[in-house]
Structure 1
């Protein structure tokens, strides 16, 4: 990530969204920044940084803020519904390196994440089991690979799609050519 002019890392979209929610909820409660900081056990400067989207709060800090605001922690983390199309330009993968790129995260009863996975030739990746109930969907754009659960792998080529239980051990293995796949992870949201 490139540094900003001030030498600091630019705020992430997640930090900015969380900061906006903290400020909005504080204002909805009619609470001053000083009162909010006191109730959450934070300095006013820390709260100001968080509201500006420039902080990197721990879960404990967000939990303290949620308690001070008398709201569920999820209210600070939930993303608003999308208002229009989202375009992500393609990126160039470095030859010989695995490239992982989060394309999108969507919530609608499930947590959905869309990833682009570029795997070099003759590479095997072990898939760590995801949360219980997760389904993994693979769509191969280019190349050939063997992928899926360790006990039932499938040979896949361009245009092939495979869905399987992502909460069990799985893997991805390319042959003599690289592969470019889209991976969609659908995990249930437990409330």
Structure 2
């Protein structure tokens, strides 16, 4: 009887491949040989080789032993890096009197991180729609003055001020006599 295609092997999962690549990268960054890493983690070289190739299915205890040997948090082995290098976004003009919202960057790796530029004209109030449960909204004021934050605890902010608050509750932004330019970062947990 012929063996099933693929010789009965499971395909390499993207998670296993990502974890394996992270183990290899961190080991190399520390200048450790595979033999030294295996010894410190209490693993065989063959097991470490399989894990680094993304072909293993390590237990939490194995990942913990590797993290201890590398002197890093275990979460560093599980985090997926999505950094594509430097990102440049040129500024764009805003129409006078309009609220302008621009998504500058979105990153997903355990949390969804979005960076927006918000420009609000003078004498304007914007009601913030509550975001997903667990979202934290971070404001960094570039220019102007604004009263912003949760409806029950707003803050008066000026250039250089930063405010972080629970974005899953009602919130608002209110300008006075001048326009405001704000960088807004939304950090939301990714539900699976």
- Fold shared by both chains (TM-score > 0.5): yes
For residue 81 of structure 1, give the secondary structure of its aligned residue in structure 2. coil
* Structure 1: tracts of 5 or more residues without a match: 1-27, 29-78
- How high is the TM-score relative to the length of structure 2? 0.57
Q: Which residue of 2 aligns with 1:158?
A: 159
RMSD: 1.6
**What is the rounded CA distance, in whole Å, between the counterparts of 1:144 and 1:80 in structure 2?**
36
Q: Which residue of 1 aligns with 2:122?
A: 121
Instruction: Compute the displacement of 1:109 (Å).
Output: 1.0
Q: Which residue of 2 aligns with 1:173?
A: 174
CA deviations over 1:74-105 (Å, ceiling 9, x no partner): xxxxx982331000000111111100000000
The question of whether the paired residues in 1 share the 8 Å contact of 2:149 and 2:155 is answered with yes
**What is the rounded CA distance, in whole Å, between the counterparts of 1:93 and 1:172 in structure 2?**
18
Q: Which residue of 2 aligns with 1:135?
A: 136
Equivalent runs, 1:69-88 vs 2, <5 Å? 81-88=82-89
The question of whether the paired residues in 1 share the 8 Å contact of 2:136 and 2:164 is answered with yes
Q: Which residue of 1 aligns with 2:99?
A: 98
The question of whether the paired residues in 1 share the 8 Å contact of 2:81 and 2:109 is answered with no
Instruction: Compute the displacement of 1:190 (Å).
Output: 1.1
CA deviations over 1:11-66 (Å, ceiling 9, x no partner): xxxxxxxxxxxxxxxxx9xxxxxxxxxxxxxxxxxxxxxxxxxxxxxxxxxxxxxx
* Structure 2: tracts of 5 or more residues without a match: 1-10, 12-79
**Count of aligned pairs:** 114
CA deviations over 1:91-124 (Å, ceiling 9, x no partner): 1111111000000001121100000000000000
**What is the rounded CA distance, in whole Å, between the counterparts of 2:183 and 2:126 in structure 1?**
15
